[in-house]
Amino acid sequence: MKLSKESKGMGMPWEDSYGYAQAVKVGDTIYLSGQLSHDAQGNMVGAPPLDEKGRILDHANMEIQMRQTYENAKSLLGQFGATLDNVVEEVLYVTDMDAAFAVAGTVRKAAYGVEKPNVASTVLVTPRLALPTQLIEIKFVAKV
């Protein structure tokens, strides 16, 4: 039995170079690949300073990157006629747990538009994400 999938993208160069879909809808479920804080041209919003070895020196832009990441997820969900209200699960991958926790409550509440988002959420720390200036990546699952 062939699975019926509908996929969407954002036109970012890494979609073709890595070879993946930004989002895939199967039945009433939308799976969003890890979203990050790029603008429409693929430039990192809130890029932190790096040392000579390409390591992040400062995580102060975590809030800027987190806000942009949620905006990108909204845009991608919108391609399916969905919103963040349809999200049932998210997984946040961050490069600094303290910086993420310092801003996550405020940013998430603003993104979802409610004081206590009705979303299962997991936060994991990792030493590095796909792009050197990336502080956060968020994976989403939504139901429509």
65: closest CA among 117, 113, 107? 107
Q: Where are the domains of the chain?
A: 33-79+90-139
Q: What is the mean pLDDT of the chain?
A: 97
Q: Which residues pair with 51 in a beta bridge?
A: none
Give pLDDT, residue 57.
Answer: 97
Give pLDDT, residue 83.
Answer: 98
Q: Which CATH class is domain 33-79+90-139?
A: alpha beta
Cα 101 to the center of its chain, rounded Å: 16
CA distance 37 to 135: 9
pTM for the model stands at 0.96
Give pLDDT, residue 1.
Answer: 85
Give pLDDT, residue 132.
Answer: 96
% helix, strand, coil for the chain, step of 5: 30, 30, 40
- What would the mean pLDDT of 25-46 be, rounded to a whole number? 97
